[in-house]
Structure 1
Amino acid sequence: MTQKKNYPLLRYISIFFLVFGIFVRLIQYVSNRSLWYDEASLALNIVNRSYLELLGPLDYDQAAPPGFLWIEKLFVQLLGNNEYVLRLFPLIVGIISIFAFYQFAQRYSSTLAAPIAIALFACLESTIYYATEVKQYGVDLMGTLILSLLLIPLRDRVFGKRQILFLSLVGAIFIWLSHPAIFVLSGIELSSWLSAPARKRQSIILNRLPIYLVWLLSFAVLFFLSINVSANNPRLQYSWGASYPDAPWDVVWLFDSFGRFFYTPLSFFSITDGIALFAFVCGCVAYYRTNRTNLLFLASPFLTTLLASYLHKYPFRDRLVFFLAPPTLLFIAEGVVFLLTRFQRRYKYVIILGIIVLIALVIPPSIRASQLVFTPEVKEETVPVLEYVKSHQQPGDMLYIHRGARSQFLYYAEKFGYREGDYILGGFLMPKKEDNREPWVRFTGDIEKLRGKERVWLVFRAKYKESKKFSSYLDRIGKQLDFFSQRIDSAIQPCMFVYLYDFSGSP
């Protein structure tokens, strides 16, 4: 990895995937899918709160960095309140990230590994998806890339006053834009201390103390104004409670969390998550043999994040660790090259294994990304459901919104001409198990209020199996007159449904 050879074909492949990655993201953006539950919940906070109020605990059990929320708020005020505007900043960030990752791969991986890493970054479902979602995870990813590109090359330098001021401001700003930026900053700087020559280590630390003080001050203010308040949300605590290890020696949790990481958020599906993990380990070995300094810097955000998780301060799980994707993809790509080249003299059969690993990791996401060009991804399509209701609603019809669909409906209500009093918001979720008596009584009591009404539209968000249980219950107290769903083909992903029922015969 220390010597770079010039292979024009590999460079053209890298550029092709860079352009293709941008194209796919633009297609996803232009398709303008409906906001799904999490997006709509965060969008309601962005639209309805002031800049100062966005510092406090957010409604609908949401949490996001204030800097991200403020930029979204500014875009909405300047350009209007719609899906395109809300997704514009994530799209810009996603495109910047592709260019940044191109540089990242060229700089910190071998010539053969760079196009593999770039192809994965361009085509993986998660990197495409988070570039067009109204959430902060794409900004987290960009933060890892920008901070790494800025700080790693300066690892053993003593800064002048302008550099100190610039890096202080950049770090302080990213801390407000991305919660995990603090792990990237601290990991890179700790690696700088460890990799610096012993004679320069003290001078480097003393030289950078003003930078560290600014970063710490920025994080402290953010923590007391925003993070600490959000962390005290009991529902958020409950949702991430299982993401922490039970004890410092909980190795089972470590292996389980790290194994899950390749499935979600990285989106290596089926057996390819195990193949990706295998390639990752091979990549770590390759870096250890050829460039231990790069290994230290690329692995450092993992180590600081795991430390925070063991301290129960940050969950190492799902989309919250999406920001670790860039170094992970370099390790995976380097692992593939390691299998293809390291054993070609003595164990030629390993090359076959390397080819299989390469095909298994690169081809499926490339095919999936190509399909997205013609069939952009949809998730929970609220707009077609509400359009159907609006076009078929008759005077006097009642409109009931199940609690699971509340955020989407409240975001789109005004756009479809609904005002408070035109609808009923359900207060309780349907329990997943019918024998869970108390929640079931609360839920059915919510629906019982509709008995005697002739035409009631019920907007519902659930998985297919849950929707069948819901309609089964409704059939016992009324007669189904109509049904519509934009999408009903997933047993895992929730969908939006609307039912029209006649409860007039129900006493």
Structure 2
Amino acid sequence: MPSLQVSDTSTWRIIIGLIICLGIFLRVFHYFNNRSLWIDEAYLSISLIKKGFAELATPPLEYEQKAPIGFLWAVKAMVLLFGKKEMALRLVPLLCGLAALLVYLPVTRWFLKPVGVLTAMGILALAPPLVYHAVEIKQYGSEMLATVLCLYLYIRYEGKMRFGSLLAWGFWGALILWFSYSAIFILAGMAVGVCLYYLFRREWRELFQSVIPFSMWLFSFAVNFFLFTYKYADSEWLTTWFGLRGGFMPFPPTSVAGIKWLFQVFYRFLDYPLGILWNFGPAHSSKITSLIKAGMAVLSLFLWLLGMIAFFRQDKKLFWVLTLPLVLTLIASGLKLYPFYERLLVFLAPVVILFIAKGCVSVASLFKVPKSLKYVLPVLLLLWPLYSSTDQVINPYLFGGKKNAAERDALFYIKDRYKEGDVVYIYWNFLHTYLYYKDAYGLTFPRTIEGSDLKNQAQNETDYFGKMKPEFDAIAQNKRVWFIHNR
């Protein structure tokens, strides 16, 4: 009996279908698990449930939050239709996550051979960070969908010089910019890559025709920026926060520190947002696990680099279209305009996944491995995401790591045990979460003291506690106090 090869059309479709179904299941499972909002979600949710469409379009939002106007309006529409609770707020991110899975398939099939498609779809479907952002009430999941849509528009319209096609490409790209801040990196990278390609080849007609959609993108970005984006005040504390965590590239990155920074951020990228770094955790730390983790990191980075080289040799235009968004993001990071850090890089995941998947294809081609061994690398890359995602379904409290909050549970715990004469003191760093649940669930207590944020008014620790004394004196007069704060 001949062995069944994955390249057989029917088997191939079944495997890819199973991967997509598994990705859908993971996202839907965690959506209906309906965990509590965590701190960042609560910050944005306050504006989404309190403000109308016009107010959302006139920054600032509560708690210095920022999000694209299209995303804000889409979520607000869900709030009006389905209420103020978590599942209504997270419906738009969920739909974006599911759409990204479905639209990414034709993208991968255009860029890659079957072994690469399997790798790329597997990472996108199974990576825990990407699953998480599909059920978080923040814009990062929709930013990733925007990237996938930009890639799809490229394979749909690039090279088609009919006026209607150029206008369609321009219109859809211009529209995406109203739903995604980071899409400008993807679209600008595409535009520069395509223009450079035609410029070097002296294909002047194609160059000038390509300016039609690219100028539409630029106009849309400019209008959006001057109407909405620039109104968000620069948060100096956020720049400091990301700077302390290495979110900004030393510019230019020519020093030893700059080169070291590049290696560190690419290494971290494998863990977040790609989720393919074998992180065993402190409980399972040993020399063997450290070697396995290091080996997988080296392998993944090698495949990433090999994939970039393979695209360059195959088609220089494709190489620049995929590489320049990454380069532009790094430059923005060096100029302290956009942090190159964790969740803010989710939008780059579909691009980097293509590089790694292309690397898998190249290894199979370069070393002429037997068909039965072609899928060893994809399996190695997908083992950890599959294990982690399975573990998080079995143990949902692991989902999201530190972002898996229990604020709602804490409030209902107190509500069920509240007795006459009790007082609930809400420390200032929990107040936003309390205000959300107070509004969304009607969750109130007969006697509540809402703490004041006095940290910026105090000169030192002693001064801070001195300013807090009136509030502490007020709660000290009660027999029993429920003290709630966010660690």
TM-score by length of 2: 0.84
Please report how far the alpha carbon of residue 36 of structure 1 lies from its aligned counterpart in structure 2 after TM superposition.
1.1
1:406 is aligned to 2:410: no
Percent sequence identity is: 30
Q: Give the residue type in structure 1 aligned to 2:263.
A: F
Please report how far the alpha carbon of residue 448 of structure 1 lies from its aligned counterpart in structure 2 after TM superposition.
5.1
Using the alignment, how far apart are the partners of 2:480 and 2:128 within structure 1?
Answer: 42
Indicate if the aligned counterparts of 1:57 and 1:226 stay in contact, CA closer than 8 A: no
User: CA 1:23–1:353 in structure 2 vs 1: closer, same or farther (change >3 Å)?
Assistant: closer
Secondary structure of residue in 2 paired with 1:400: strand
Indicate if the aligned counterparts of 1:172 and 1:215 stay in contact, CA closer than 8 A: yes
Using the alignment, how far apart are the partners of 1:214 and 1:286 within structure 2?
Answer: 32
User: CA 1:344–1:445 in structure 2 vs 1: closer, same or farther (change >3 Å)?
Assistant: farther
Indicate if the aligned counterparts of 2:150 and 2:186 stay in contact, CA closer than 8 A: yes
* Aligned position for 1:257: 265
1:68 is aligned to 2:71: yes
Show CA shifts across 1:308-360 (max 9, x none): 22333222211111111012112222223433442257xx9xx99994x5444
Using the alignment, how far apart are the partners of 1:86 and 1:414 within structure 2?
Answer: 14
Q: 2:127 aligns with which of 102, 124, 128?
A: 124
Using the alignment, how far apart are the partners of 1:222 and 1:233 within structure 2?
Answer: 20
Q: 1:20 aligns with which of 9, 22, 25?
A: 22
* Aligned position for 2:310: 286
Secondary structure of residue in 1 paired with 2:424: strand
Secondary structure of residue in 1 paired with 2:231: helix
Greater alpha carbon shift after TM alignment, 409-418 vs 113-122: 409-418
Ranked by relative contact order (alpha carbons within 8 Å, sequence separation 6 or more), the top structure is 2
Secondary structure of residue in 2 paired with 1:133: coil
Secondary structure of residue in 1 paired with 2:269: helix
* Aligned position for 1:492: none
Show CA shifts across 1:372-420 (max 9, x none): 4444337112222111111110122111112232222111013454459
Please report how far the alpha carbon of residue 450 of structure 1 lies from its aligned counterpart in structure 2 after TM superposition.
2.4
Using the alignment, how far apart are the partners of 2:428 and 2:223 within structure 1?
Answer: 35
Q: 1:166 aligns with which of 154, 165, 168?
A: 168
Show CA shifts across 1:409-467 (max 9, x none): 11101345445984222234999xxx9655566567754542232111112222xxxxx
1:370 is aligned to 2:390: yes
Q: Give the residue type in structure 1 aligned to 2:45.
A: A
Please report how far the alpha carbon of residue 93 of structure 1 lies from its aligned counterpart in structure 2 after TM superposition.
0.8
* Aligned position for 1:426: 451
Please report how far the alpha carbon of residue 25 of structure 1 lies from its aligned counterpart in structure 2 after TM superposition.
0.9
Provide the alpha-carbon RMSD of the alignment: 3.0
Q: Give the residue type in structure 2 aligned to 1:331.
A: F
Q: Give the residue type in structure 1 aligned to 2:145.
A: M
Using the alignment, how far apart are the partners of 1:156 and 1:459 within structure 2?
Answer: 59
> Superposition pairs for residues 74-473 of structure 1, below 5 Å?
74-160=77-163, 162-196=164-198, 201-242=203-244, 243-249=247-253, 250-269=258-277, 270=279, 271=293, 272-344=296-368, 355=376, 358-376=378-396, 377=399, 379-418=404-443, 422-428=447-453, 447=472, 449-462=474-487
Secondary structure of residue in 2 paired with 1:177: coil
User: CA 1:396–1:146 in structure 2 vs 1: closer, same or farther (change >3 Å)?
Assistant: same
Q: Give the residue type in structure 2 aligned to 1:392.
A: R
User: CA 1:202–1:444 in structure 2 vs 1: closer, same or farther (change >3 Å)?
Assistant: farther
Instruction: Figure out how many residues of one structure are paired with residues of the other and give that number.
Output: 450
Secondary structure of residue in 1 paired with 2:340: coil
Query: Which structure 2 segments of 5+ residues have no match?
Result: 1-5, 280-292
Please report how far the alpha carbon of residue 99 of structure 1 lies from its aligned counterpart in structure 2 after TM superposition.
0.7
